Amino acid sequence: MSRVSYNEFEKGNTKNANVYEVELGKIILVEDPKIGGFTSFFKPDLNITSEGETKEEAVINLIATYGDVIQFDSKKLKVKKILPK
């Protein structure tokens, strides 16, 4: 499956790959012509990437991964009351 980072995309290192922009927002899909599959990531880079065999699967996996990251971060969130004392 494709493994393309956002930095590679921004530097133009995906010239031989098919690149798509998804209408739902700023999601970029890069198809790997050699091994197949798609890498998906947000633009601007949120350091969250995912993969899939099809464009649809890559986008669905990316959104699911983003949800997992948000859920994980909220579990680590500690709230401390500071006012009033």
Residue 1 has pLDDT above 60, yes or no: no
Q: pLDDT band at 2, cuts 50/70/90?
A: low
pLDDT at residue 33 in the model: 82
pLDDT tier at 11, thresholds 50, 70, 90: confident
Give, in order, the Cα–Cα distances in Å from 22 to each of 54, 58, 62. 13, 11, 12
Query: Any idea where the domains of the chain sit in the sequence?
Result: 6-67
CA-to-CA distance for 28 and 14, rounded, in angstroms?
A: 12
Is 0.75 surpassed by the pTM of this model? no
Q: Which of 62, 49, 51, 37 is nearest to 7 (CA)?
A: 49
Split at pLDDT 50, 70, 90, the class of 72 is confident
Section 37-54 average pLDDT: 86
